[in-house]
């Protein structure tokens, strides 16, 4: 089939455009390779685009904009994200929707800015002090660059929380021929502010898990936001029952309301399931196609929701005698996330550092 | 009780100057006739920050030292009729000094009330960047050895239109009123001595005398006025327009071809490879272009990996290239490890370069001499197409002509 609107594009362009079409109205950026391309596009496209003097400021401005009713986005890589961590915790505790796009590159520390990696997953698992889960969605191809930002933004709004959209250098910088006609229209995220009679308490979720939102500055209701332990009205508390219940609610809402996104391409008779995410998805798809062409049945699970880890992944993996988890890091972080440090004997990993995993490496492990 | 408060009993130590700051803030707000819900009070960690629950305004309680940046975000997101006030301590001002200077430089519409009680009160009396020389703290019982920051002077230097310093005992509501009426950044530093740790360690010290000795002179200073920074919403256009590549040619390629173009940074390697990918698309192929280069700009190697295929490409890495095209010594040095094990394929090499060991067929050509360093990559790719026909050379020439590069390069003439 011939493409109907072929373009040569990188993922950064699609991500920036998708965010704006989904209703994100403010981008706060600080340049860092390999996220700078998103910053470049965002500066052209977002209704409000602000260059921040550092990544701590970037997250604080985003929190302020979010508190005032905007829907902010930033993109960064590990060194910048490290500076954002306390502020992401703040936004999580204040329950402020925002999107942080984390473009992974080779670490540790500054590492190699221009080399891709998938090394930040375990950092994200445990990012929130106390072990509270942060929604993390992961882009696996160009279509995801279009499809996932609106879902991530809707999740941020629906759950009143920061959401991390995880990706990596080659996903957002490599140019690929792509058919824009394959992209579905994006509708702006559905968002309503509380307009009831009050009294309004910024953290009173009623019978639900997510409190209604009112921006600060509202002329009818007083809004109290708080990054410290607080009661349902946002007043600082030590460890009162009400305050601790409020904190526990943060976990409950993310655990139960984060969308579970994955693709399962199963083949009848397959003994092995390949599990992957992010840029390694391309190599996995190619390996699976090659194996199937050679008469080797194999299935493929592409994980898009990474955190909180959907339990369905264990269910799916459990149906197969063997699983091969492919990811671009040294430790096998996705594998550790799923099974801990001691992998079951029927689970193997294919890993690489400083380069992309090749399809033949995955195929070899499947047939080993 | 003021309409700006919901309870008048403040959560501070007896005798703490923070009481006065709240009373004077409320008095100033009443003087300018604002309504509580037109005001956002942003506080952070420190004794000053536990006052949120007393205020009838909106309140936002953030991270230690980050309140100015948080407030800047709020102010940039609200209409100008809303007033954003920041309460910050001397410790917070130390850790968040850059936020204060940036807000002043940008002239964000906030009023910062700096509670300078000379030390970190909440954590046990440690010295801050605003602790004056000689002031005794639990960590410096012989006296703090370093000079303090002069925050009003710093913010004025950064471009703030208004800064002031007052000494806590007394009525300074009018100074706060002036600060609140500034459209843009204003800062008022209020001096006091922490009654729990400062007075205990410095029992004979009086605030006015301390201020005089330290050079903490009270005063009101103004800088040049300018419009407050408010990001305007812009109308923008889609990033997806004018991108389409139409198919006008055909390619004989049946399967897949992987190609490496290696050259030097600043010599248009990435752009040339991108144009090749577009030309291939115009010939009905799928294409990817991946860049690899050091963090330096304009120095070192620049390598592009191109995959051309009749079928969709999922994996765009290149492990065993079919073609390697090297235009400079940087490119050769970077790709030597990949060229050496090649058992097939073709290596196109600029004639200025030594021929490396390889199992590939080697074709030495004059890229740099013919086209110059800046266009060596373009010309090398044209040569590759002329010799292989993978994509019609005229497709590449046309793509280059229609690109911004077309005005500067006459590829067809080469």
Report the Cα–Cα distance between both ends of chain A, in Å, rounded.
35
Residue A360: closest C-alpha in chain B: B319
Alpha helices in A95-132 (DSSP H): 121-124
- Omega before B7 within 30 of 0, i.e. cis: no
> Could you tell me if B324 and B380 are in contact, meaning their C-beta atoms sit under 8 angstroms apart?
no
Domain ranges within chain A, ordered by starting residue:
6-182, 262-367
Q: Is the pLDDT of residue B297 over 80?
A: no
Task: Tell me which CATH code domain A6-182 carries.
Answer: 3.40.50.970
- The phi-psi region of residue B372 (left if phi > 0; otherwise alpha if psi is between -120 and 50; otherwise beta) is left
> Could you tell me if B258 and B307 are in contact, meaning their C-beta atoms sit under 8 angstroms apart?
yes
Q: Is the pLDDT of residue A286 over 70?
A: yes
Instruction: For residue B391, give every residue at least 6 positions away whose Cβ sits within 8 Å of its Cβ, in sequence order, or none.
Output: B249, B251, B253, B276, B279, B280, B283, B285, B308, B385
3-class DSSP state of B379: helix
The 10s digit of each residue's pLDDT in A58-90 is 999 999 999 999 999 999 999 999 999 999 999
Chain A residues with beta carbon closer than 8 angstroms to that of B100 = none
Choosing from B174, B197, B222, the residue where a domain stops is B222
Same domain, B179 and B284: no
Rounded Cα distance, A315 and A338, in Å = 11
Domain count, chain B: 2
Put simply, whether A240 touches B (Cβ < 8 Å) is no
Chain B residues with beta carbon closer than 8 angstroms to that of A360 = 319
Q: Helix crossing, B269-282 with B393-402: angle to 10°?
A: 120
- Which of A26, A60, A140 to mutate against chain B (most B CBs within 10 Å)? A60
> Could you tell me if A234 and A225 are in contact, meaning their C-beta atoms sit under 8 angstroms apart?
yes
Rounded Cα distance, A299 and A295, in Å = 13
Which of A213, A217, A211 is CA-nearest to residue A232? A211
Contact state of B277 with A175 under an 8 Å Cβ cutoff: yes
The answer as to whether B11 is a domain residue is no
Same domain, B291 and B178: no
Contact state of A68 with B73 under an 8 Å Cβ cutoff: yes
- Res B413: pLDDT: 78
Contact state of A6 with B37 under an 8 Å Cβ cutoff: no
E-assigned strands of B75-168? 83-89, 110-116, 119-120, 126-127, 162-167
- Res B191: pLDDT: 97
- Res B411: pLDDT: 83
Which stretch of B105-119, B272-286, B397-411 has the lowest confidence by average pLDDT?
A: B397-411
The 10s digit of each residue's pLDDT in A301-337 is 999 999 999 999 999 999 999 999 999 999 999 999 9
- Res A198: pLDDT: 85
The answer as to whether B169 is a domain residue is yes
Average pLDDT over residues A211-223: 98
- For residue A245, the distance in angstroms to the closest alpha carbon of chain B comes to 19
Average pLDDT over residues A97-106: 98
- Which of A216, A243, A265 to mutate against chain B (most B CBs within 10 Å)? A216
B231, B232, B274 ranked by CB distance to A8: nearest: B274
The 10s digit of each residue's pLDDT in B360-384 is 999 999 999 999 999 999 999 999 9
The 10s digit of each residue's pLDDT in A13-46 is 999 999 999 999 999 999 999 999 999 999 999 9
B77, B238, B246 ranked by CB distance to A65: nearest: B77
Q: In the CATH hierarchy, which top-level class contains the domain A262-367?
A: alpha beta
B40, B75, B278 ranked by CB distance to A8: nearest: B278
3-class DSSP state of A160: coil
3-class DSSP state of A305: strand
- For residue B144, the distance in angstroms to the closest alpha carbon of chain A comes to 29
The answer as to whether B5 is a domain residue is no
Q: Is the pLDDT of residue B296 over 90?
A: no
Cα dihedral A118→A123→A128→A132 (10° resolution): 80
The 10s digit of each residue's pLDDT in B3-31 is 999 999 999 999 999 999 999 999 999 99
Cα distances (angstroms) measured from residue A188 to each of A22, A147, B76: 4, 12, 23
Rounded Cα distance, A111 and B412, in Å = 42
Same domain, B215 and B262: no
- Kindly report the average pLDDT of chain B as a whole number: 95
Q: Extract the tokens encoding A351.
A: 């890993």
Contact state of B240 with A7 under an 8 Å Cβ cutoff: yes
Which of A198, A255, A190 is CA-nearest to residue A221? A198
> Could you tell me if B40 and A205 are in contact, meaning their C-beta atoms sit under 8 angstroms apart?
no
Instruction: For residue A363, give every residue at least 6 positions away whose Cβ sits within 8 Å of its Cβ, in sequence order, or none.
Output: A287, A290, A291
- Cα-Cα-Cα-Cα dihedral sign, residues A239, A245, A250, A254: positive
Rounded Cα distance, A252 and B276, in Å = 51
Instruction: For residue A238, give every residue at least 6 positions away whose Cβ sits within 8 Å of its Cβ, in sequence order, or none.
Output: A229
Alpha helices in chain A (DSSP H): 11-21, 36-45, 55-67, 78-94, 121-124, 142-159, 169-173, 241-257, 280-293, 311-318, 333-339, 359-367
Instruction: For residue B221, give every residue at least 6 positions away whose Cβ sits within 8 Å of its Cβ, in sequence order, or none.
Output: B152, B156, B162, B163, B164
- Res B170: pLDDT: 86
Alpha helices in B78-232 (DSSP H): 90-95, 97-106, 151-158, 173-181, 198-201, 207-214
Residue B271 belongs to what H/E stretch?
helix B269-282
The answer as to whether B8 is a domain residue is no
Rounded Cα distance, B40 and B34, in Å = 11
3-class DSSP state of A255: helix
Which stretch of A197-201, A258-262, A263-267 has the lowest confidence by average pLDDT?
A: A197-201
Rounded Cα distance, A212 and A84, in Å = 26
Same domain, B67 and B127: yes
Same domain, B261 and B400: yes
Q: Is the pLDDT of residue A1 over 60?
A: no
Contact state of A175 with B293 under an 8 Å Cβ cutoff: no
Put simply, whether A345 touches B (Cβ < 8 Å) is no
The 10s digit of each residue's pLDDT in B156-204 is 999 999 999 999 888 999 999 999 999 999 999 999 999 999 999 999 9
Which of A308, A226, A300 is CA-nearest to residue A264? A300
- Res B382: pLDDT: 97
Put simply, whether A359 touches B (Cβ < 8 Å) is yes
Q: Extract the tokens encoding B356.
A: 């490396």
Residues linked to residue A299 through DSSP beta bridges, in sequence order: A273
> Radius of gyration (Cα) for chain B, nearest Å?
33
Q: Return the residue matching tokens 């402020």.
A: A96
> Could you tell me if B288 and A7 are in contact, meaning their C-beta atoms sit under 8 angstroms apart?
no
Put simply, whether A53 touches B (Cβ < 8 Å) is yes
3-class DSSP state of B255: coil
Alpha helices in B47-165 (DSSP H): 67-77, 90-95, 97-106, 151-158
Average pLDDT over residues B301-325: 96
Range of the domain at B138: 18-222
Which of A87, A89, A6, A112 is CA-nearest to residue A328? A112
ipTM of the complex: 0.97
Rounded Cα distance, A268 and A320, in Å = 11
Q: Extract the tokens encoding A181.
A: 């006609």
- Which of B61, B229, B272 to mutate against chain A (most A CBs within 10 Å)? B61
Number of H-type helices and E-type strands within chain A:
12, 16
Cα distances (angstroms) measured from residue B90 to each of A46, B13, B144, B190: 36, 17, 15, 10
Put simply, whether A13 touches B (Cβ < 8 Å) is yes
- Res A2: pLDDT: 52
Q: Extract the tokens encoding B223.
A: 């800088």
């Amino acid at each position: 089939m011939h493409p109907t609107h072929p373009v040569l594009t990188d993922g950064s362009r699609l991500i920036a455009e998708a965010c704006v079409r989904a209703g994100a109205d403010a981008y706060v950026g600080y340049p860092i390779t390999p996220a700078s391309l998103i910053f470049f596009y965002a500066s052209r496209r977002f209704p409000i685009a602000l260059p921040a003097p550092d990544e701590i400021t970037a997250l604080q401005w985003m929190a302020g904009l979010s508190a005032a009713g905007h829907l902010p986005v930033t993109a960064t890589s590990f060194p910048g994200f490290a500076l954002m961590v306390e502020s992401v915790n703040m936004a999580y505790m204040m329950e402020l929707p925002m999107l942080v796009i984390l473009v992974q590159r080779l670490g540790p520390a500054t590492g190699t800015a221009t080399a891709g990696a998938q090394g930040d997953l375990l950092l994200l698992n445990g990012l929130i002090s106390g072990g509270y889960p942060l929604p993390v969605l992961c882009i696996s191809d160009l279509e995801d660059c279009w499809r996932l930002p609106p879902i991530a933004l809707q999740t941020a709004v629906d759950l009143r929380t920061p959401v991390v959209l995880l990706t990596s250098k080659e996903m957002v910088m490599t140019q690929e021929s792509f058919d824009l006609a394959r992209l579905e229209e994006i509708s702006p995220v559905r968002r309503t502010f509380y307009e009831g009679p009050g009294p309004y308490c910024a953290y009173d979720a009623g019978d639900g898990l997510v409190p209604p939102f009112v921006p600060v500055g509202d002329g009818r209701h007083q809004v109290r936001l708080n990054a410290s332990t607080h009661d349902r009205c946002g007043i600082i508390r030590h460890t009162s029952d009400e305050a601790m219940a409020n904190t526990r609610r943060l976990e409950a809402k993310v655990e139960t309301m984060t969308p579970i996104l994955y693709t399962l391409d199963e083949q009848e008779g397959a003994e092995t399931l390949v599990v992957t995410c992010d840029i390694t998805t391309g190599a996995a798809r190619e390996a699976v196609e090659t194996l199937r062409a050679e008469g080797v049945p194999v299935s493929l699970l592409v994980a898009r929701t990474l955190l909180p880890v959907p339990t369905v992944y264990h269910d799916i993996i459990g149906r197969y005698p063997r699983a091969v988890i492919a990811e671009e890091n040294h430790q096998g972080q996705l594998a550790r996330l799923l099974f801990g440090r001691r992998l079951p004997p029927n689970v193997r990993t294919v890993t690489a550092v400083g380069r992309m995993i090749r399809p033949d490496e995955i195929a070899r492990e499947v047939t080993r | 009780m003021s309409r700006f408060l919901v309870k008048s009993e403040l959560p501070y130590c007896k005798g703490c100057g923070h009481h006065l700051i709240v009373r004077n803030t409320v008095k100033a707000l009443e003087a300018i006739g604002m309504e509580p819900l037109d005001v956002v009070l942003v506080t952070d960690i420190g004794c000053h920050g536990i006052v949120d629950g007393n205020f009838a305004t909106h309140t936002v309680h953030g991270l230690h030292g980050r309140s100015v940046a948080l407030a800047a975000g709020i102010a940039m997101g609200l209409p100008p009729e809303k007033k954003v006030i920041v309460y910050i301590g001397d410790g917070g001002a130390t850790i968040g000094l850059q936020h204060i200077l940036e807000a002043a430089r940008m002239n964000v519409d906030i009023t910062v009330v700096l509670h300078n009680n000379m030390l970190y009160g909440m954590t046990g009396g440690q010295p801050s960047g605003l602790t004056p020389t000689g002031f005794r703290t639990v960590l410096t019982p012989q006296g703090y050895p370093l000079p303090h920051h002069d925050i009003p002077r710093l913010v004025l230097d950064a471009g703030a239109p208004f800064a002031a310093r007052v000494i806590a005992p007394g009525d300074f509501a009018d100074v706060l009123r002036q600060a609140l009426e500034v459209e843009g950044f204003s800062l008022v530093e209020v001096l006091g001595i922490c009654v729990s740790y400062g007075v205990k360690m410095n029992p004979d010290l009086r605030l006015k005398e301390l201020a005089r000795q330290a050079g903490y002179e009270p005063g009101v200073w103004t800088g040049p006025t300018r419009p407050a920074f408010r990001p305007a919403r812009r109308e923008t256009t889609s990033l997806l327009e004018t991108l389409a590549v139409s198919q006008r040619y055909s390619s004989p390629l049946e399967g897949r071809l992987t190609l490496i173009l290696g050259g030097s940074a600043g010599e248009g390697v990435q752009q040339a490879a991108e144009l090749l990918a577009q030309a291939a698309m115009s010939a009905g192929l799928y294409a990817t272009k991946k860049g690899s280069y050091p963090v330096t700009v304009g120095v070192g190697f620049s390598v592009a990996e191109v995959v051309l295929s009749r079928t969709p490409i999922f994996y765009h890495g290149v492990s065993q290239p079919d073609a390697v095209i090297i235009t400079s010594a940087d490119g050769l040095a970077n790709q030597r490890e990949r060229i050496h094990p090649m058992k097939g394929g073709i290596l196109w090499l600029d004639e200025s370069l030594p021929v490396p060991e390889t199992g590939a067929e080697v074709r030495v050509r004059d890229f740099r001499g013919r086209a110059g360093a800046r266009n060596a990559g373009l010309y090398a790719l044209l040569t590759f197409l002329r010799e292989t026909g993978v994509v019609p050379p005229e497709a590449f020439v046309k793509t280059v002509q229609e690109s911004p590069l077309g005005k500067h390069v006459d590829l067809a003439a080469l």
